[in-house]
């Protein structure tokens, strides 16, 4: 029985209150009154009135008194769960992450839940028909049956091997399986049951693992020797067999009855990788990838939470997956930017993996051929172990790298004669050639030779990219597009020229030069249609494509054994970037692309075209390698007091009114300064590097601290007050703790 709201006579102590994280941009939890007969525990979903709407929130805490007067306390509409959907550990971890990033708990928990649970669906997996062996079916003598009815014998045999149960899905994969199963049902040898359909990744024909080489074995043993939490950097050149080490460690984990969580970059979750796992493990495994429906995502999530899946693979958001028996976390390509969420709840899954491993008391392995400066720093300062795989596994050699000075040389679609000649040689010898250019479209600008007019976006401070085949000018920042003008809009001249190179132009040039060789272009444009990526990759793998052209989509993770020449068409883009991480990124990109060359028996070659052949970065990288360059870059960061030697937070604001963002940030700065907390420098506000984007003006206020705790202290006191600034109503603002890009 619940009493009516306007009867504040009820004794305070008897009122039970739930603290609920409600999805909203507000930073606090909200108190609701529990029905007298309703029990909740943290992690359950409740439906609650919120303003004029009704929302689904998560109970975070229960209490006997509220933060508002009892008679103003609104009652919970409904309790949606009998059991918490989020187990305690996953709930507390997500809340901790929300506090670290100073993001509203309601939105944080919404990120941690599959979409269907957010919308109120029951937390139960789909059900699937399954065929179970009966006692009679188990007793059938197979040899005799095989002579009369080979299919029936075969199916019974499969069932026995599969532990007496096959799902309808598994049956569909067997030729004539369903019909045979019907027959066996009629004979009483099988029984129909219903089973949760978790959507496990199908297992594949097992392949025997290679014997680890000494470096791999040493790395594996070092992780094995960890008890409790320990963070390990697996620093191995491309093709050194890092994945084999992960597989061994995952095998240990599974054998110990625990679950392994494997995080991969967005582009890293390829069918190839899944196949490697499914050939090694005959255990239930789920993969969170963008191709899942909401239903499938929920099924997989439940399998992880309830301990049904032994292995969980996914991209960044998988870090929040609840696990019943966690035993290991692996982050592959830990330097990859895609681990950082760049909008809304801006978390870094790599950093959260370390935090979660530490809370759980389990080992964390961060793998990369080009470790981030942050992680290298943590090896020094926070005692991560540094496990090195210096050589390629299986006998492949590291590629030879060479700088091509293109100053003053004629270029054909961005390609020098020397490079074209190298390409021809490799193609003639049966090698595959990969041309890397991290710019899609035909040309990054359309330019008038008569008056110097340049096509710019009306909504951004940016040039429009020409996409020639589709005859469009497109803004890569806001999506605005229009047809290219027939003549210069400024002077009417018809001498409009495409300036600079994109992958589309490269493709055109190479097609004209090497008409007899199959060509594959992989970038965001060519892979937009569903299934296009798989098709293009298949043709790259089969060798049908002899010349591969691509952006970073092609640069990462793919194992292309026949590629013998990698051409970095334009290294100059990254050499003088404005972001302080630009050089680190460029070095990582060069090493990663170069790593596609000569992954099998054929030795590889890498050619880097540049107008700055004497640039120290290129020299250190080529002469002494990535590790040496990373040391130099770290030294530079230390001198400039930049991350990882400092902690940053970036307050961004944007608005259609030009002066509003700076006005807000200035007020915000004064508010922070008034808190008078030591150790944090407030830099700015200043306009963002690209001040106008998608019709909005943007500005930044940067907070910099030598010590992370000083920064956190300030943010804790300051962020809750930001919402009260009047000037904040005229802007959209967001806070980015540990920003990775200063855009």
In the complex, which residues of this chain contact ligand ADP (CB under 6 A)?
210-213, 216, 236, 238-244, 393-394
CA distances in angstroms from 624 to 99, 420, 571, 575, listed in the order given: 41, 27, 18, 18
List Cβ neighbours of 657 (8 Å cut-off, separation of 6 or more).
697, 730
Cβ count within 10 A of residue 289: 18
- 90 near Zn ion, judged by CB under 5 A: no
Task: Indicate the residue among 473 and 475 with the shorter CB distance to Zn ion.
Answer: 475
- 514 near Zn ion, judged by CB under 5 A: no
480 binds, among Zn ion, ligand ADP, none (CB under 5 to 8 A by kind): Zn ion
Q: How far is the CB of 691 from ligand ADP (least distance, A)?
A: 41
Q: Which of 46, 45, 163, 170 is nearest to 112 (CA)?
A: 45
> Is 684 in contact with 699 (CB distance < 8 Å)?
yes
Q: How far is the CB of 333 from ligand ADP (least distance, A)?
A: 9
450 binds, among Zn ion, ligand ADP, none (CB under 5 to 8 A by kind): Zn ion
Q: Enter the DSSP assignment of 484.
A: P
Q: How far is the CB of 417 from ligand ADP (least distance, A)?
A: 33
Q: How far is the CB of 268 from ligand ADP (least distance, A)?
A: 10
Separation of alpha carbons 567 and 586, rounded Å: 15
CA distances in angstroms from 615 to 329, 405, 436, 588, 621, listed in the order given: 39, 11, 20, 16, 10
- Count the residues of the shown chain that bind Zn ion, applying the rule CB under 5 A: 15
Token pair, residue 617, equals 């970065």
Which range of residues in 404-412, 467-475, 549-557, 572-580 is near Zn ion by CB under 5 A?
A: 467-475
DSSP 92-117: HHHHHHHHHHT--HHHHHHHHS-HHH
Q: How far is the CB of 540 from Zn ion (least distance, A)?
A: 32
Separation of alpha carbons 76 and 54, rounded Å: 10
Cβ count within 10 A of residue 576: 11
> Is 115 in contact with 150 (CB distance < 8 Å)?
no
336 binds, among Zn ion, ligand ADP, none (CB under 5 to 8 A by kind): none
Interface residue with Zn ion among 280, 439, 463, 477 (CB under 5 A) is: 477
Task: Indicate the residue among 332 and 654 with the shorter CB distance to Zn ion.
Answer: 654
448 binds, among ligand ADP, Zn ion, none (CB under 5 to 8 A by kind): Zn ion
210 binds, among Zn ion, ligand ADP, none (CB under 5 to 8 A by kind): ligand ADP
Q: How would you classify the pairing of strands 696-705 and 647-655?
A: antiparallel
Q: How far is the CB of 200 from ligand ADP (least distance, A)?
A: 23
Give me the residue label for tokens 């004064």: 670
Token pair, residue 223, equals 């992780």
Cβ count within 10 A of residue 658: 13
Beta bridge partners of 263: 314, 331
- 229 near Zn ion, judged by CB under 5 A: no
In degrees rounded to 5, what are phi and psi of residue 695? 80, 5
Side-chain-side CA neighbours of residue 276 (13 Å): 21
Task: Indicate the residue among 62 and 627 with the shorter CB distance to ligand ADP.
Answer: 627
Task: Indicate the residue among 453 and 645 with the shorter CB distance to Zn ion.
Answer: 453
Q: How far is the CB of 497 from Zn ion (least distance, A)?
A: 10
378 binds, among Zn ion, ligand ADP, none (CB under 5 to 8 A by kind): none
Q: How far is the CB of 448 from Zn ion (least distance, A)?
A: 3
Query: H/E/C letters for each residue in 433-472?
Result: EEEECCCCCCECEEEECCCCCECECCCCCCECEEECCCCE
Tell me the per-residue interface mask from 296 to 315 with Zn ion, x by CB under 5 A, - otherwise. Answer: --------------------
- 472 near Zn ion, judged by CB under 5 A: no
- 491 near Zn ion, judged by CB under 5 A: yes
Task: Indicate the residue among 285 and 302 with the shorter CB distance to ligand ADP.
Answer: 285
Token pair, residue 160, equals 């026995």
Tell me the per-residue interface mask from 421 to 460 with Zn ion, x by CB under 5 A, - otherwise. Answer: ---------------------------x-xx-x---x-xx
Separation of alpha carbons 545 and 516, rounded Å: 11
Separation of alpha carbons 653 and 665, rounded Å: 7
Task: Indicate the residue among 242 and 305 with the shorter CB distance to ligand ADP.
Answer: 242
Task: Indicate the residue among 159 and 263 with the shorter CB distance to ligand ADP.
Answer: 263
Interface residue with Zn ion among 493, 494, 656, 670 (CB under 5 A) is: 493
477 binds, among ligand ADP, Zn ion, none (CB under 5 to 8 A by kind): Zn ion
- 663 near Zn ion, judged by CB under 5 A: no
In degrees rounded to 5, what are phi and psi of residue 318? -65, -15
Q: How far is the CB of 317 from ligand ADP (least distance, A)?
A: 23
Task: Indicate the residue among 297 and 558 with the shorter CB distance to ligand ADP.
Answer: 558
Q: How far is the CB of 477 from Zn ion (least distance, A)?
A: 5
Task: Indicate the residue among 464 and 586 with the shorter CB distance to Zn ion.
Answer: 464
Q: How far is the CB of 339 from ligand ADP (least distance, A)?
A: 17
- 476 near Zn ion, judged by CB under 5 A: no
* CA of residue 284 relative to chain centroid, distance: 22
Task: Indicate the residue among 240 and 401 with the shorter CB distance to ligand ADP.
Answer: 240
Task: Indicate the residue among 28 and 213 with the shorter CB distance to ligand ADP.
Answer: 213
Task: Indicate the residue among 548 and 668 with the shorter CB distance to ligand ADP.
Answer: 548
Which range of residues in 13-21, 434-442, 473-481, 659-667 is near Zn ion by CB under 5 A?
A: 473-481
Task: Indicate the residue among 138 and 210 with the shorter CB distance to ligand ADP.
Answer: 210
- 190 near Zn ion, judged by CB under 5 A: no
Separation of alpha carbons 597 and 560, rounded Å: 8
DSSP 279-312: HH--S-EEEE-TT--HHHHHHHHHHHHTT--SEE
Separation of alpha carbons 624 and 733, rounded Å: 43
238 binds, among ligand ADP, Zn ion, none (CB under 5 to 8 A by kind): ligand ADP
DSSP 122-188: -S---EEEEEEE-HHHHH--HHHHHHH-HHHHHHHHHHHHTTSEEEHHHHHTSTTHHHHHHHHHHTT
Q: H or E segment at 572?
A: helix 572-575
Q: How far is the CB of 595 from ligand ADP (least distance, A)?
A: 7
Q: How far is the CB of 325 from Zn ion (least distance, A)?
A: 48
223 binds, among Zn ion, ligand ADP, none (CB under 5 to 8 A by kind): none
Side-chain-side CA neighbours of residue 218 (13 Å): 13
- 499 near Zn ion, judged by CB under 5 A: no
Say how many residues make up the chain. 743
Task: Indicate the residue among 210 and 383 with the shorter CB distance to ligand ADP.
Answer: 210
Q: How far is the CB of 396 from ligand ADP (least distance, A)?
A: 7
Task: Indicate the residue among 477 and 596 with the shorter CB distance to Zn ion.
Answer: 477
In degrees rounded to 5, what are phi and psi of residue 412? -115, 105
244 binds, among Zn ion, ligand ADP, none (CB under 5 to 8 A by kind): ligand ADP
475 binds, among Zn ion, ligand ADP, none (CB under 5 to 8 A by kind): Zn ion
Q: Which of 290, 280, 304 is nearest to 89 (CA)?
A: 304
Q: How far is the CB of 243 from ligand ADP (least distance, A)?
A: 3
In degrees rounded to 5, what are phi and psi of residue 481? -150, 155
Residue 479 exposed, middle or buried by CB count within 10 Å (0-12, 13-18, 19+): exposed
Separation of alpha carbons 6 and 8, rounded Å: 6
Q: How far is the CB of 288 from ligand ADP (least distance, A)?
A: 20
Which stretches of the chain bind Zn ion, using CB under 5 A? 448, 450-451, 453, 457, 459-460, 475, 477-478, 480, 488, 490-491, 493
């Amino acid at each position: 029985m619940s009493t009516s709201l306007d009867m504040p006579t009820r004794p305070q102590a008897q009122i039970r209150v739930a603290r609920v994280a409600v999805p909203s941009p507000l930073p606090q939890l909200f108190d609701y009154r529990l029905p007298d007969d309703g029990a909740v525990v943290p992690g359950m979903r409740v439906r609650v009135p919120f303003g004029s709407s009704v929302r689904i929130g998560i109970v975070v805490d229960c209490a006997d008194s509220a933060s508002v007067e009892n008679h103003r306390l609104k009652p919970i509409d409904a309790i949606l769960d009998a059991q918490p959907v989020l187990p305690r550990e996953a709930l507390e971890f997500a809340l901790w992450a929300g506090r670290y990033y100073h993001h509203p708990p309601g939105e944080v928990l919404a990120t941690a839940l599959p979409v269907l649970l957010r919308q109120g669906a029951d937390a139960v997996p789909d059900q699937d028909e399954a065929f179970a062996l009966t006692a009679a079916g188990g007793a059938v003598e197979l040899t005799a049956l095989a002579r009369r009815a080979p299919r029936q014998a075969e199916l019974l045999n499969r069932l026995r091997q599969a532990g007496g149960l096959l799902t309808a899905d598994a049956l569909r994969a067997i030729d004539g399986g369903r019909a045979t199963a019907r027959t066996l049902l009629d004979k009483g040898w099988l029984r129909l049951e219903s089973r949760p359909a978790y959507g496990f990744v199908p297992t594949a024909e097992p392949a025997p693992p290679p014997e680890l080489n000494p470096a791999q074995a040493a790395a594996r043993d070092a992780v094995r020797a960890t008890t409790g939490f320990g963070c390990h950097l697996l620093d191995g050149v491309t093709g050194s067999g890092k994945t084999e080490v992960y597989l061994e460690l995952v095998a240990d984990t599974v054998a110990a009855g625990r679950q392994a969580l494997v995080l991969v970059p967005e582009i890293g979750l390829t069918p190839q990788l899944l196949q490697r796992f499914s050939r090694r493990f005959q255990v239930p495994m789920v993969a969170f990838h963008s191709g899942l429906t909401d239903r499938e995502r929920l099924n997989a999530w439940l399998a992880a939470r309830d301990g049904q899946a032994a292995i969980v693979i996914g991209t960044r958001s998988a870090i929040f997956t609840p696990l019943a028996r966690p035993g290991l976390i692996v982050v592959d390509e830990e330097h990859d930017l895609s681990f950082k969420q760049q909008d809304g709840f801006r978390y870094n899954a790599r950093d959260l993996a370390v935090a979660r491993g530490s809370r759980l008391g389990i080992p964390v392995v961060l793998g990369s051929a080009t470790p981030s400066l942050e992680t290298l720093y943590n090896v020094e300062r926070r005692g991560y172990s540094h496990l090195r795989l210096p050589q390629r596994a299986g006998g492949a050699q590291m590629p030879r790298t060479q700088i091509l000075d293109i100053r003053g040389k004629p270029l054909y679609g961005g390609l020098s004669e020397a490079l074209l000649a190298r390409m021809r040689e490799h193609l003639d010898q049966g090698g595959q050639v990969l041309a890397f250019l991290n710019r899609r479209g035909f040309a990054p600008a359309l330019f008038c030779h008569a008056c110097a007019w340049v096509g710019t976006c009306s909504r951004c401070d940016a040039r429009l990219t020409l996409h020639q085949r589709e005859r469009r000018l497109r803004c890569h920042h806001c999506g605005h597009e229009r047809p290219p003008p027939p003549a210069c809009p400024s002077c009417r001249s018809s001498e409009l020229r495409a300036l600079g190179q994109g992958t589309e132009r490269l493709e055109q040039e190479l097609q004209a030069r090497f008409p007899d060789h199959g060509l594959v272009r992989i970038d965001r444009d060519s892979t937009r249609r569903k299934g296009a990526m798989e098709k293009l990759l298949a043709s790259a793998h089969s060798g049908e494509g002899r010349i591969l052209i691509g952006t970073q989509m092609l640069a990462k993770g793919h194992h292309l054994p026949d590629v013998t020449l990698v051409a970095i068409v334009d290294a100059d883009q990254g050499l003088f970037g404005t972001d302080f991480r630009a050089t680190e990124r460029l070095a990582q990109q060069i090493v990663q692309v170069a790593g596609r060359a000569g992954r099998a028996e054929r030795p590889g070659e890498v050619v880097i075209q540049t107008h700055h052949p004497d640039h120290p970065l290129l020299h250190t990288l080529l002469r002494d390698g990535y590790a040496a360059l990373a040391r130099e870059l770290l030294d530079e960061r230390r001198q400039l007091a930049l991350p990882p030697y400092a902690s940053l937070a970036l307050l961004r604001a944007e608005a259609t009114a030009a002066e509003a963002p700076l006005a807000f940030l200035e007020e915000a700065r004064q508010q922070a300064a008034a808190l008078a907390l030591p150790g944090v420098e407030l830099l700015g506000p200043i306009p963002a590097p690209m001040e106008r984007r998608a019709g909005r003006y943007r500005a930044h206020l940067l907070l910099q601290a030598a010590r992370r705790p000083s920064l956190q202290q300030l943010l804790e006191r300051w962020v809750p007050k930001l919402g009260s600034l009047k000037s904040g109503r005229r802007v959209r603002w967001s806070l980015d703790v540990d920003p990775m890009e200063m855009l």
